[in-house]
Amino acid sequence: MTEAHWHMEETTWRKSHLRVGYTLLVFVAMAIILSFFGRYVWLTIPFVLIGMAMIGLDVKKYRMRRTHMKDRDVVKLLKWNLLYDLISSGVLVSLISALLIFQYDSLMLAIGLLVWGVVSDQMSRMFQKKLNERVPLLHQLDLERRNQ
């Protein structure tokens, strides 16, 4: 595949990831607010579906990038990034589900969720920075996104 095709795939993936990410953010905020008023077990079903969509997008990103990258060190970094993304999404889904299902200690779960979100974001940025250093196309895409 050509670099132009890869550029288009990356752009399309980023847009779909942003849409699902914003949906997830709204859901997390709603879960935190509702957790203080009672148990909302029924909300866990759509939330788990959104979490599965996030995991699916992470796997899609790995597969897409894996087909274009041949350097052994970059592939190893991609595998670690995928493993981290899967663990991060799983913990996030678990924390939100616990927040929605269990009535006790909602404040501690909400604080734990916020701390996990901050740590997760920093780790994702670290992985992306390392990939940008090694893959020129990803660096170029990141610069384009920042200049928009």
**AA identity, residue 40:** Y
Distance separating the N- and C-terminal Cα atoms of the chain: 26
Tens digit of each residue's pLDDT (9 = 90 or more) over 86-108: 888 888 888 877 777 776 666 77
The rounded distance, in Å, linking the Cα atoms of 123 and 95 is 18
Angle (CA) 113 99 35, round 5° = 110
Tens digit of each residue's pLDDT (9 = 90 or more) over 60-70: 888 887 887 77
pLDDT above 80: residue 82: yes
The residue to which tokens 């399309």 are assigned: 12
Average pLDDT, rounded, for the chain: 78
Tens digit of each residue's pLDDT (9 = 90 or more) over 25-72: 787 777 777 766 766 777 778 878 888 888 888 888 888 878 877 788
State both tokens at 11.
Answer: 């752009």
